[in-house]
Amino acid sequence: MAKMYYDNDADLSLLKGKKIAVLGYGSQGHAQAQSLQDSGLDVIVAEIKGSKSWDRAVADGMKVTTTAEAAEQADMIHILLPDEVQAEVYRESIAPHLKAGNIIGFSHGFNIHFAQIVPPEDVDVIMIAPKGPGHLVRRQFKEGAGVPCLIAVQQDYSGKARDIALAFAKGIGGTRAGVLETTFKEETETDLFGEQAVLCGGLTHLIRSGFETLVEAGYQPEVAYFECLHEMKLIVDLIYEGGIANMRYSISDTAEWGDIATGPRIITDETKKEMKKVLEEIQDGKFAQGWILENKAGRPMYNAIVKRDKAHQIETVGKELRGMMSWLKK
Ligand code: NDP
Ligand code: MG
Ligand code: MG
């Protein structure tokens, strides 16, 4: 089994006396910045002046300044901006202020792996990537727990880059849950593949195809919604708790027979062949190229499809049904 690192493997004092600039106060930024500060580290947040995130950081008791100012002052610059804006912000407001021995941190490897950001040789380049959304990172930290993290070292100028990444993971509670070492390449490629083929792309299209099949056959959309979307969470919870075997133990034998007999007709050898192609296009940079160009063009396809999908019947029916589910948080 791969080696896991815990609290005792990490030395927070490696970051004591260093000024850490957290760039961006969004999902990951707010969670990591506050937790590092609670861990007794010297943190400064960088945001766009006058933005809502700036105000939120001030309200949370953080020191806040501009990106250029933070990059100038900091020993470690941790970039938690949206991946699509990181390269431009790096060129304009970070690179001019970098000093030998600085540390540049990320929570996702996209910009380093696809060479959208190419730091100078005299800095450390590390990754600390929590395997969970920012709000969970913060909540777990406050409860004395943590979210598992991946760490990686791309450049080790100081000779201590790995230990610094571990210290950082400790500062956000990651070593309480367990830290696994990876590379920028592995994290980037597996993360992109997972969200495209399984977690997001695969799942949403599976749900919608099932929903459409039932509705087109004349069944009530409300029933189709419960069957294909609502119940998904209940099934996934069982898988999360005890694996696929545990889920199969809980469902009826009829459902289990349907799972093993029909599943391979839905996710076929063709599907897996396509997954391999998707992975190749991540590995050879074709996906990254498409996404970078889409952003440069002002996201015409992204905007059109997101808008169209918001009007899909599964969304309108779901909104009404969820309105009647008093136990769901608004
Ligand atoms: P968010 O979009 O939630 O937050 C980004 C923050 O950056 C926002 O506060 C935004 O401000 C601010 N921002 C946007 N543009 C600029 C700019 N030009 N200059 C300064 N600040 C700016 O991002 P995430 O937290 O989701 O992602 C950050 C990084 O963490 C990414 O690399 C992502 O891949 C990684 N990651 C994210 C996870 C997640 O669960 N979200 C999980 C693991 C890794 P405003 O709100 O005002 O627009
Ligand atoms: Mg991702
Ligand atoms: Mg059933």
pTM attached to this predicted model: 0.94
Q: What is the dihedral of CA 124, 125, 128, 131, to 10 degrees?
A: -170
DSSP 104: E
Q: Which ligand is nearest to the CA of 132?
A: 1
Ligand 3 centroid vs 228 CA: distance in angstroms? 9
Ligand 1 pocket: which of 25, 34, 64, 80 to mutate (most atoms within 8 A of CB): 80
Ligand 1 centroid vs 11 CA: distance in angstroms? 27
Residues in the chain, how many? 330
Q: Is the dihedral of CA 20, 4, 134, 31 positive or negative?
A: negative
Angle made by CA atoms 44, 50, 52, in degrees to the nearest 5: 80
Q: What is the pLDDT of residue 330?
A: 59
Angle made by CA atoms 20, 24, 25, in degrees to the nearest 5: 95
Residue with tokens 């367990």: 178
Ligand 1 shell residues, CB under 6 Å: 24-29, 47-48, 51-53, 67, 80-83, 85, 89, 107-108, 129-130, 133-134
DSSP string, 285-318: THHHHHHHHHHHTT-HHHHHHHHHHHTSHHHHHH
The H-or-E segment that residue 277 falls in is: helix 269-283
**From 30, 78, 108, 113, the catalytic residue:** 108
Ligand 2 centroid vs 309 CA: distance in angstroms? 20
Ligand 1 centroid vs 324 CA: distance in angstroms? 33
Residue 181 β-bridge partners: 151
From the alpha carbon of 25, which atom of ligand 1 is closest?
A: 9
On the 0-12 / 13-18 / 19+ scale of CB atoms within 10 A, 3 is exposed
Ligand 3 centroid vs 123 CA: distance in angstroms? 55
Residue 153 β-bridge partners: 126
Please report, in range form, the residues annotated as the binding site for Mg(2+).
191, 195, 227, 231
Averaged pLDDT, groups of 10, the chain, 330 residues long: 95 98 98 98 97 98 98 98 97 98 98 98 98 96 98 98 98 98 98 97 98 98 98 97 97 98 98 98 98 97 98 97 82
Please report, in range form, the residues annotated as the binding site.
25-28, 51, 53, 134, 191, 195, 227, 231, 252
Active site residue 108: yes
Angle made by CA atoms 131, 164, 114, in degrees to the nearest 5: 60
For 170-179, how does the pLDDT look when each residue is reduced to its tens digit (9 = 90+)?
A: 999 999 999 9
From the alpha carbon of 54, which atom of ligand 1 is closest?
A: 47
Please report, in range form, the residues annotated as the binding site for NADP(+).
25-28, 51, 53, 134
Burial state string for 107-127 with b = 16 or more CB within 10 A and e = fewer than 16: bbbbbbbbebbebeeebbbbb
Atom 45 (ligand 1) nearest CA: 53
Q: Which ligand is nearest to the CA of 65?
A: 1
